[in-house]
Amino acid sequence: MPDKYSIILPTYNERKNLPILVYLIDKTFKQHPEYDWEVIIVDDASPDGTQEVAKELIKIFGSDHIQLKPRAGKLGLGTAYIHGLQFVTGNFVIIMDADFSHHPEAIPQFCKLQKEGDYDIVTGTRYAGDGGVYGWDLKRKLVSRGANFLASTLLRPNVSDLTGSFRLYKKNVLAKIILETKSKGYVFQMEMMVRARALGFTIAEQPIAFVDRVYGESKLGGDEIVGYLKGVWNLFISV
């Protein structure tokens, strides 16, 4: 059996970004016929018609490659991955943003690095090696750096980009960590790394370029930042 990579794509108002992203995922895997793949779109009842676009993509790329697993409302980024995981048929899971900030051409680098050390997790990093962030204003850069600095200092998981969300997991490893993870929003990514370390899983880091979205808006609001601070504190007193 070839390795199969299941990509969970959480979407909220990504109508304009989804087609190009899926096209490039398909193109990337066509260059790597040794891998099987599928995309699981977890859409939270986006008002912009993202689900209609997803249905068209199923027609074009086939239901063996694209699945749409919607939810009734906007229930948060962390729980979107938990929802998507139920439908995974691959032995590896890739999570990435659907707004094209994460380029599919990096996927083979994640797969290759995973194999080199049989790592449980490969996490994309903007903050090590030749990784970087492009297109963010100073305020957003400070929020991201501050979030990473705070969690790194208090929790010491030894991962350079705790809040990033371009990652590859062995499927059974993802399932185990998710069982212990309590966060529902953006803080989920940081908690997953802290739990992974506590459980003794191996983590490799793949430098990536994060490019801010062209279409649509970020969903990161003040409530997510408050949720993040609470999450760091809860882990600090419990792990």
Ligand X SMILES: Nc1nc2c(ncn2[C@@H]2O[C@H](COP(=O)(O)OP(=O)(O)O[C@H]3O[C@H](CO)[C@@H](O)[C@H](O)[C@@H]3O)[C@@H](O)[C@H]2O)c(=O)[nH]1
Residues at the interface with Mg ion (CB under 5 A): 99, 101, 213
**Cβ distance to ligand X smaller for residue 167 or 197:** 167
CB under 8 Å to 162, separation ≥6 — which residues?
147, 148, 151, 152, 189, 190, 193, 194
- Asked if 161 contacts 123 with a C-beta cutoff of 8 angstroms, the reply is yes
Tokens linked to 71 = 């939810």
**Cβ distance to Mg ion smaller for residue 99 or 191:** 99
Give the whole-angstrom CA distance, residue 66 versus residue 75.
22
**Cβ distance to ligand X smaller for residue 79 or 114:** 79
**Cβ distance to Mg ion smaller for residue 101 or 189:** 101
Residue 78 interacting entry, from ligand X, Mg ion, none, C-beta within 5 to 8 Å by type: none
Residue with the shortest CB distance to Mg ion:
99
Angle at 134 between CA 130 and CA 135, to 5 degrees: 175
**Minimum distance from residue 34 beta carbon to ligand X (Å):** 28
- Asked if 189 contacts 157 with a C-beta cutoff of 8 angstroms, the reply is no
Chain residues binding ligand X by CB under 6 A are: 10-12, 14, 42-44, 74, 76-77, 80, 97-99, 101, 144, 163-165, 186, 189, 213, 218-220
Reduced DSSP (H G I as helix, E B as strand, rest coil) percent helix, strand, coil of the chain, to 5: 45, 20, 40
Residue 186 interacting entry, from ligand X, Mg ion, none, C-beta within 5 to 8 Å by type: ligand X
Give the whole-angstrom CA distance, residue 197 versus residue 177.
10
Q: Is the dihedral of CA 232, 190, 214, 40 positive or negative?
A: negative
Give the whole-angstrom CA distance, residue 42 versus residue 28.
21
Give the whole-angstrom CA distance, residue 183 versus residue 111.
27
**Cβ distance to ligand X smaller for residue 36 or 206:** 206
158: left (phi over 0), alpha (psi -120 to 50) or beta: left
**Cβ distance to ligand X smaller for residue 67 or 189:** 189
**Minimum distance from residue 106 beta carbon to ligand X (Å):** 13
Please list the alpha-helical segments (H only) found in 31-168. Answer: 50-61, 77-85, 107-117, 138-155
